[in-house]
Amino acid sequence: MPSQPDRLRAVLFDFDGTLGDSYAAITASVNHVRSLYGLPPLTEAQVRPHVGRGPENLLESTVGTGTSAANVAAYLAHHPSVMRAGTRLMPGAGQALWTLRACGLRLGVCSNKPVVFTRELLSWLGVANEFDLVLGPEDVARPKPAPNMLLEALRRLNVAAKEVLYIGDMTVDIGTARAAGVRVYVVATGSDSIESLRAAEPDGLFTGLADLARAVAGSFP
């Protein structure tokens, strides 16, 4: 059984693979950049493992030619045309947010996705009002796996590390949480396999957000 957080006051989420399934949209934008070099399209399954470490890493891994700046610019320019249609909430995400809110918890998002995209998608998906803050790589000096984003969230929410739980879907999320000194639960719904997640030893490992939220809510009297 996963360990339960003590004196929990806030829960922070990753976005891609955790709250939202944006893999179709991300794949479409990756393939747009690839097409600029005459490269054939990749499948969603081929792109999926490279999501979650920021646009630069994504495009380096999936395009591999041209300059990083030019590829990121092309990706960012294209993405709004596919972002909404290619994104949906992960199963159980909406109910999980409402369950955690009902416990009196403050909620936030800390994602390597460009923050303007994350905010637009949360609004489009109808859950923006559930969050007290939304942070992206533009808000801090270093993106995940550096702890800066989580530490900035703690500062803005005025909570201590021991009062926070971070929820992600990748080993990079586990490393980020460890570096920030917060507990971390992961769901096996994103870019990393359940075996790699288990090997990274999170505080809790779940098949989806619904089970995770019930476990957190069960720790409240």
- Tokens representing 191 are 């870019």
Across 63-159, the runs of DSSP E, i.e. the strands, are 88-89, 106-110, 133-135
Residue carrying the six token digits 């803050």: 133
Whole-number Å distance between alpha carbons of 126 and 145 = 28
CA dihedral 173, 179, 185, 190 (to 10 degrees): 10
Residue carrying the six token digits 């972002």: 83
**Residue 211 annotated to the active site:** no
Residue carrying the six token digits 């999501």: 51
Q: Which of 6, 14, 139, 192 is catalytic?
A: 14
The enclosing H or E element of 9 equals none
Q: Of 97, 126, 98, 99, whose CA–CA distance to 109 is shortest?
A: 97
User: Are residues 110 and 12 in contact, defined by beta-carbon separation less than 8 angstroms?
Assistant: yes
Concatenating the DSSP letter of every residue in 117-142 gives HHHHHHHHTT-GGG-SEEE-GGGSSS
Point out the residues that are catalytic.
Answer: 14
